[in-house]
Amino acid sequence: MGCESYRKSIKREALEGEFEELLSRPEPSGGLFRLVRAMSKDAWNMRAAQASEVVAELKASVRTLDKQIDQLLDRIVETGNTSVVRAYEKKVAKLEREKVLAQEKLAETVKPKHTFEESCEHALRFLASPWKNVDLSGRKTVLRLAFSQPLPYCRKEGLRTPDLAFPFKALAGLSTPKSEMAHRGGFEPPTP
């Protein structure tokens, strides 16, 4: 006694046909894809605007600290009291440290190396149609990126329900609503 499928092959055309049908399911509609692209671009622009605001705040902080330091240095020159001079010098040293920290933060802020289109367009194109225009190595990559686990296959029923990777789950969830609003009377007919 053994497995009835032992040493039996599956037609390549049948398997690839089922697989292509399976891959066409998670493809988002054109409208949904445009929405996801617009949302991604908005998020990108918001991050860029936040980064610009941080840079502007840091530059303003450096200018303010410079003014405060200059004012204290002018006061040091004008005063003759040594204890006041020492207090001013301590304050100047503290402001200089704050200025150096602000300048370091300013130097650490980096503008994006690429535009949104250069950075994300390829990934969005892949999400729109993962199976189109790819060679064998590309198809292997699609398998790893589109599915979080190997595809289960049953000889009698074909490909089983796959476990999609997160981006495809999210797009599928957006394109196929799983719930509806309940009607006033509910779903069941009223009971007498």
pLDDT the model gives residue 139: 72
Q: pLDDT tens per residue, the chain (192 residues)?
A: 567 777 777 788 888 788 777 766 655 666 777 777 888 889 888 988 888 898 899 899 999 999 998 988 888 888 888 888 888 889 989 999 999 998 888 888 777 777 888 877 777 777 666 666 667 777 777 777 778 888 887 878 878 878 877 777 776 665 555 555 556 666 666 676
Residue 8 DSSP label: -
Helix ranges, the chain (H): 12-24, 30-78, 82-108, 116-128, 136-146, 166-175
pLDDT the model gives residue 94: 93
User: How far apart, in Å, are the Cα atoms of 26 and each of 10, 68, 107, 164, 176?
Assistant: 25, 60, 43, 9, 10
- The C-alpha atoms of residue 168 and residue 175 are separated, in whole angstroms, by 10
Map out the domains of the chain as residue ranges.
Answer: 10-27+130-172, 30-128
- The C-alpha atoms of residue 82 and residue 16 are separated, in whole angstroms, by 88
**Who's near 71: CB < 8 A, 6+ residues apart?**
none
C-beta neighbour count of 168 within 10 angstroms:
21
- The C-alpha atoms of residue 91 and residue 74 are separated, in whole angstroms, by 13
Determine which helix (DSSP H) or strand (DSSP E) holds 149, and give its type and residue range: none
pTM of the predicted model as reported, rounded to 2 decimal places: 0.53
- The C-alpha atoms of residue 133 and residue 143 are separated, in whole angstroms, by 14
pLDDT the model gives residue 67: 94
pLDDT the model gives residue 96: 93
pLDDT the model gives residue 186: 60
Q: What is the Rg, in whole angstroms, of the alpha carbon atoms belonging to the chain?
A: 31
